[in-house]
Amino acid sequence: MENSKAGRGRRYIDPGVHRRFDRRNTVFHRRAVYTGFDSYGPSHFDPADPELLELAEARASWTLHDNYPGAFRDSIIGDRKLVNSRPPFRFEFTSSEKASGNIKAVAKRFGASLVGLTRIDGSWLYSRERSGAPVMLPPEAAWAVVMAVEMDRECISRSPALSAAAESGRGYSRMAALAGAVGEYLRLLGYYARSCGNDTALSIPMAVDAGLGIMGRNGLLLTREYGPRVRLCKVLTDLELVQSSNDYPEPEDICSGCTLCAEACEADALSTDDGPSWKVLTGSNNPGVLRWPFDPEKCFDFWLQIGRDCSNCIAACPAVSRFANLQD
């Protein structure tokens, strides 16, 4: 995969150390408990449980994500695709500007809250998926449509309650609908399109390259519009697009002097250091990345302890107002 082009995210890696991340090193895979993380699955349901309705809603929130084969690359089995063969023609846009405007408008209509376009930097592709399969793209697939889906502020503010976990699941299901439909749209026009959720490539640096935000102390994308209260998905394609620019301030301008996410983290997984560093805390961190240290093992242990995912570091984040203050 050689279609790399330095984007803004590349400024935060040490090319002498950084290697493509092996997705088997995520905490989910390393603990080999991901499929067992089913604390709000039906086997735990009890009619006398006062939280039964919330449990059912949290479980149901994942329905589209979990049951839509083909929405994301890692849910495609074998050669199964939504469109097995593209039409015998390719629609030619009159310019890459026209193509970019069209795909952004289509993505918004399919549910994207934010859309950015970037040439793919090969550094962000996983080296291997969780299955161990190497990640490869056809060389002409040089572009990414990166999309953010807003999560509801009120629901997320209740983290770590089940109603916040349900909003995470709804976010993933909206990602599935969005990435699946945008990929299908491109394939129907005769283009290569690979719809991705968290699979295939790291979404946050791709979103930074696509101008959607910066990575904050909490390890999440911070956007002007929603702070970190978004889910990310992307479609990788051979449709020639126009590179979006990133006019965000540096992460230190927003996060140095604020430690609210770290204080809200009951797992002590986030750092209160003044600035980002090259520190590696666990085997789930990728060396050669300049960022605030993050301990995913502590984070995931907390999820297991409470039996659901947590959004405390999203709920506590004042990035929207900090961006606005910086502009004043």
Among residues 156 and 270, whose Cβ is nearest to ligand SF4?
Answer: 270
Radius of gyration, CA atoms only, the chain: 19
Among residues 189 and 255, whose Cβ is nearest to ligand SF4?
Answer: 255
Which residues does 133 contact at the CB level (< 8 Å), separation at least 6? none
- Yes or no: say if 233 and 178 are a contact pair by the CB < 8 Å rule: yes
In the complex, minimum distance from the CB of residue 259 to ligand SF4, in angstroms, rounded to a whole number: 6
The CA distance from 269 to 19, in Å, is 24
The CA distance from 283 to 300, in Å, is 14
Helical segments of 11-113, H only: 27-30, 52-60, 63-67, 96-109
Question: Where do the DSSP E strands lie in the chain?
Answer: 114-119, 143-150, 193-196, 214-215, 221-222, 230-237
In the complex, minimum distance from the CB of residue 230 to ligand SF4, in angstroms, rounded to a whole number: 13
In the complex, minimum distance from the CB of residue 320 to ligand SF4, in angstroms, rounded to a whole number: 9
3-state secondary structure of 13: strand
Among residues 135 and 299, whose Cβ is nearest to ligand SF4?
Answer: 299
Among residues 70 and 219, whose Cβ is nearest to ligand SF4?
Answer: 219
Among residues 145 and 254, whose Cβ is nearest to ligand SF4?
Answer: 254
In the complex, minimum distance from the CB of residue 284 to ligand SF4, in angstroms, rounded to a whole number: 12
Pairing of strands 193-196, 230-237: antiparallel
- Yes or no: say if 296 and 269 are a contact pair by the CB < 8 Å rule: yes
| Residues near ligand SF4 (CB under 6 A) | 216-218, 222, 254-255, 258-261, 264-265, 267, 269-270, 299, 302, 310, 312-313, 316-319, 322
Identity of the residue numbered 68: Y
In the complex, minimum distance from the CB of residue 218 to ligand SF4, in angstroms, rounded to a whole number: 4
Among residues 206 and 316, whose Cβ is nearest to ligand SF4?
Answer: 316
In the complex, minimum distance from the CB of residue 308 to ligand SF4, in angstroms, rounded to a whole number: 10
